[in-house]
Amino acid sequence: MFSGSIPALVTPFRDGAFDAPAFKRLVEWQIDEGTSALVPCGTTGESPTLGFEEHYRVIDACLEAAAGRVPVIAGCGSNDTATAICHMRYAQQAGAAAALVVAPYYNKPSQEGMIAHYRALADACDLPIVVYNVPGRTVADISAETMCQLAEIPTVVAIKDASGDLARVTVHRAGAGADFCQLSGNDDLWLPHAVLGGAGCISVTANVAPRLCADFAAACAAGDWAGALVLHDRLFVLHKAMFSDASPAPAKYALSRIHDWFSLEVRLPIIQASAASRAAVDAALVAAGVL
């Protein structure tokens, strides 16, 4: 259902508040540079620090700026099933194409609890769901076998897999079908994930280098693995730099270097990128040819 380079958009702040004009400029730039879909209110968008009203303002701003040109996959995850349902219903009525729903964090549900959570979401709202598995943040891992069961739910249309386990791409393809949409959640593993059957990536780096990431995605889609490898090598140092400090601080710093209208402001408990991180980002931007 989705493919290509899909940035997990940062949420710009200025003087402590959501900077809607900067966000809309970011969306416009992304679309101009070849981005194929947009994800507001994901982890990279600092969603844990957004109140409900603010969360919905970000979704609305993304949809307004995108104006139907690319799909918007709204971040709707929560460790509270009722809250996730609330987010999904809002995103659906606002016009989102799908909901990105992270595995419930902190609670540590069983695999049966995971299935019950996503079934409850699907029963309450028919907005398509992109399941997000990121055990490094949530602690609770959605096993490959559980994911194949979730794929049987009609509105579960895709997975963003940040488990780092590339073998799962094959297990998911075998259990959920070759047409089930698999998206990488790890920029540095995007190339091998694509080789194994992945359709694209929900990316941090694409915030900063959308054209390069879109070109890389196009090479993968065309089966131009030699060309994709060249672009992968060019992007790899940037992928690493985006996590040289707590995300999304490095990405926001990078955007402030590219665009004079973008503030590097983050919200606690994230703090601005360290001097070492900034140096790594600066070097990566030059190496990738972004600056």
Residues taking part in catalysis = 132, 160
Pairing of strands 4-7, 13-14: unpaired
C-alpha pair distances (Å), 73 with each of 62, 125, 129, 140, 154: 10, 15, 9, 23, 17
Place of tokens 């409900």: 52
Phi, psi of 12 (to 5 degrees): -70, 140
Radius of gyration over alpha carbons of the chain, in Å?
18
H/E stretch holding 287: helix 275-287
Stated as kind and residue range, the H or E segment containing 216 is helix 210-221
How far apart, in whole angstroms, are the C-alpha atoms of residue 51 and residue 57?
Answer: 10
CA–CA dist 44, 82 (Å, integer): 23
Identify whether the C-beta of residue 180 lies closer than 8 Å to the C-beta of residue 128. no
How crowded is residue 158: how many other Cβ atoms within 10 Å of its Cβ?
A: 25
Picking from 62, 121, 132, the residue whose alpha carbon sits closest to that of residue 97 is 62
Alpha-helical (H) ranges within 67-108 are 81-94
Residues 116/140, Cβ–Cβ less than 8 Å = no
The closest of 192, 191, 186 to 243, measured between CA atoms, is: 186
Task: Compute the distance between CA of residue 22 and CA of residue 126 in angstroms, rounded to an integer.
Answer: 32
CB atoms within 10 A of CB 259: 14
